[in-house]
Amino acid sequence: MNKPTHIHILGICGTFMGGIAAIAKQSGYRVTGCDANVYPPMSAQLEAQGIELITGFGTEQLALNADIYVIGNVVTRGNPLMEEILNRNLPYVSGPQWLSDTLLRDRWVLGVAGTHGKTTTASMLAWILEHAGLNPGFLIGGVPQNFDISARITDSPFFVIEADEYDTAFFDKRSKFVHYHPRTAILNNLEFDHADIFADLSAIETQFHHLVRTIPGNGLIVCNGREASLDRVLQRGCWTPVERFGAEDGWNIDSENRVTLNGKLQGVLHWELLGEHNRMNALAALAAARHAGVPVALGLEALSRFKNVKRRMEVKGRVNGITVYDDFAHHPTAIATTVAGLRQKVKSERILAVLEPRSNTMKLGVMKDALPQSLKDADRVFCYSGNLGWDAAGALAPMGDKALVIDDLDVLIEAIAAAALPGDHILVMSNGGFGGIHDKLLKRLSCR
């Protein structure tokens, strides 16, 4: 059987599937794809690489005569193109399975799993390997500013991937990460999330256990030593050496950023990133890179030049003494650590937190009661309640006059602009585009 040379990707404009498209193109495949909404920036990135994009899921796309159809998890039964693929018995595969079978099989995969910090930690790890001259490939759910691309394939045996626990496809309800067979695996943390597909934390722990079962005995698990949930995962069975970070034994970092391994000083981390969560991310990346042969001193040197990821406390602009930030935080724990990190930086200056509860879990309202505590370090809170199916005002009522809930984006921007004072820090948190609020807000502030 000849190797397929033309793949057609359904759901191509998501970050993950767009990354697959990019590295498939780099590997010499003809790549076409479709999505319900084809728009910048992903559409521009893909078209710049010579990838033909089609809006919608019309059955006329079968005339392309692709060798195989790669299916993103946005595609469901009832999708007209998918239905016709099934009716005609055409070859199809999920994105993670295609990636595993086609590009990862003979590589040293370094997978980064966890509820929080996957994108940042994977970016740190890829950059450490790059700085060490190992020229890694990678597929990351964001854009590391040290690379300015989210995915690439190289001739290096090393490949860093963000190992997501979300399900693979409508026909494969296993987590994506079970397909990757990492030799080096980071288990960064584990909390309840993705309430749309997981019933409880135990269900997610089971998926992490399935991941652990795929890691070879000559590999390495780098595990957060502070997480009882990850302890439970490993207690269900582990056949691989484990190095822990953040606990008494293993990897640690103190308040002066001195890094130790089993009590022995490895060096000092010099960087400008904020928050304890990023210090933990750094430990995980250093440990994983060391397993791939990078000395800790060289890893620390790389992290001193790490530029973080777009949409991770990214400064979008400063107007009249007011700074506007963009951050991807959408889970209460991520919100809390993001606000706390900014608080550490700005001291007593005011933080105006602006939140769009947009993730599937947040839209379900499963974690709404945790929001007041997660936002406690902010001076003012502005919540956009458009398209929510629960009472955001009621959830934030414990914050009193400190919180304001508005369901109209233009009205929200006006309220933020009216409240902002010179010296303030406006922290916008959403896992989506939030209606272009950053630029609109900066423009409005410049008109005062």
Domain boundary among 41, 73, 96: 96
Q: Do residues 289 and 254 lie in contact, with contact meaning Cβ atoms separated by under 8 Å?
A: no
pLDDT tier at 39 (50, 70, 90 boundaries)?
low
pTM of the model as a whole: 0.78
Q: Are residues 63 and 190 in the same domain?
A: no
Q: Are residues 116 and 91 in the same domain?
A: no
pLDDT above 70: residue 319: yes
In a domain, 308, yes or no: no
Region 309-317: mean pLDDT is: 77
In a domain, 383, yes or no: yes
Select, from the ranges 65-79, 130-144, 179-193, 423-437, the one with the highest average predicted confidence (pLDDT).
Answer: 65-79
pLDDT above 70: residue 81: yes
Q: Are residues 113 and 218 in the same domain?
A: yes
Region 181-194: mean pLDDT is: 88
Q: Are residues 155 and 265 in the same domain?
A: yes
Residue 143 is predicted with a pLDDT of 76
In a domain, 174, yes or no: yes
Average pLDDT, the chain: 89
- CATH code for the domain of 57: 3.40.50.720
Residue 1 is predicted with a pLDDT of 42
Q: How many residues does the chain have?
A: 448
Structural tokens at position 129: 């390997």
In a domain, 309, yes or no: no
In a domain, 213, yes or no: yes
- Sheet with 92-94: list strands edge to edge: 52-55, 30-35, 6-10, 68-71, 92-94
Residue with tokens 């003494």: 321
Using CB atoms within 10 A of its CB, is residue 44 exposed (0-12), middle (13-18) or buried (19+)?
Answer: exposed
Q: Are residues 115 and 32 in the same domain?
A: no
| Domain housing 31 | 6-96
In a domain, 435, yes or no: yes
Residue 362 is predicted with a pLDDT of 64
Residue 149 is predicted with a pLDDT of 83
Total domains present in the chain: 3
Q: Are residues 129 and 165 in the same domain?
A: yes
Question: What are 358-408's pLDDT values in tens digits?
Answer: 766 565 666 778 888 889 989 999 998 887 777 888 888 888 989 898 888
Q: Are residues 338 and 371 in the same domain?
A: yes
Q: Are residues 90 and 133 in the same domain?
A: no
Residue 363 is predicted with a pLDDT of 58
Residue 308 is predicted with a pLDDT of 72
Q: Are residues 170 and 278 in the same domain?
A: yes
In a domain, 420, yes or no: yes
The proportion of the chain whose per-residue pLDDT surpasses 70, expressed as a percent, equals 95
Residue 155 is predicted with a pLDDT of 95
Domain boundary among 272, 303, 334: 303
Q: Are residues 296 and 321 in the same domain?
A: no
In a domain, 1, yes or no: no
Residue 79 is predicted with a pLDDT of 97
Backbone φ, ψ for residue 424 (5° rounding) = -75, 160
Q: How far apart are the first and last CA of the chain?
A: 67
Residue 272 is predicted with a pLDDT of 78
Q: Are residues 288 and 378 in the same domain?
A: no
Question: What are 222-238's pLDDT values in tens digits?
Answer: 999 999 999 999 999 99
Domain boundary among 96, 129, 162: 96
Q: Are residues 72 and 196 in the same domain?
A: no
- CATH code for the domain of 391: 3.90.190.20
- CATH code for the domain of 173: 3.40.1190.10
Region 111-135: mean pLDDT is: 94
Q: What sign results for the dihedral spanned by CA atoms 303, 309, 315, 316?
A: positive
